Amino acid sequence: GEDVEQSLFLSVREGDSSVINCTYTDSSSTYLYWYKQEPGAGLQLLTYIFSNMDMKQDQRLTVLLNKKDKHLSLRIADTQTGDSAIYFCAEKGDSNYQLIWGAGTKLIIKP
Amino acid sequence: DVKVTQSSRYLVKRTGEKVFLECVQDMDHENMFWYRQDPGLGLRLIYFSYDVKMKEKGDIPEGYSVSREKKERFSLILESASTNQTSMYLCASTSRLTYEQYFGPGTRLTVT
């Protein structure tokens, strides 16, 4: 079945770039998403990319999509303490209703 | 501003109690979802609903039921709470035109 995989943790120094990676199995994915969850809160959409795009940039965020390798990444430039959160990758598979979710990557910022 | 609200942020219940978690959205969305979130397991879909009175089982429906009598409201029911249902419960909604899911703040349920 469809699956989305992410590392559980990433630790970076404040001011460095963070790169969070995700791999997926469904080659028919049309949309891929990055969501952010701050401590004690629900999930909030950060950005998304259509499957016919390779890259999308939005201020400090850069999303790269490699369809051949089914690999999605989220780069956060100049990582700040406010970026501490869990980042979820999700894809829209065949279902008209459901998203397939990764387990989430907890981003830890070191001073 | 879009809004999904959940009836409680924190809830403590005893084993065997019936538990109701309520979710309300103000975006006129057709689709609503209940997930549970556990560390290292990500989001697991319990049930979803694509219209009033319609429901579909997700990946882990056992021990849960749902009710959708009005478009804006989707309730999750634990008929007889058990300690393995201690978790964070997240509600989400989405329109049929887009697939972006909007989430509520979550309910952290502890069953003792």
In this complex, is the C-beta atom of B103 within 8 Å of any C-beta atom belonging to chain A?
Answer: yes
Q: Give the span between the Cα atoms of B84 and B82, in whole angstroms.
A: 5
Q: Which residues of chain A are within 8 Å of residue B101 when distances are taken between CB atoms?
A: 43, 45, 99
Over residues A42-81, the pLDDT tens digits come to 899 999 998 889 999 999 999 999 999 999 999 999 999 9
Nearest to B100 among A45, A96, A101 (CB): A45
Residue A93's pLDDT is what? 74
CB-CB contact of B33 with B50 (8 Å):
no
How many other C-beta atoms lie within 10 A of the C-beta of residue A107?
Answer: 20
**d(CA A101, nearest CA chain B) in Å:** 6
User: Tens-digit pLDDT profile for chain B (112 aa)?
Assistant: 668 999 999 999 999 999 999 999 999 999 999 999 998 788 999 999 999 999 999 999 999 999 999 999 999 999 999 999 999 999 999 977 777 889 999 999 999 9
**d(CA A32, nearest CA chain B) in Å:** 10
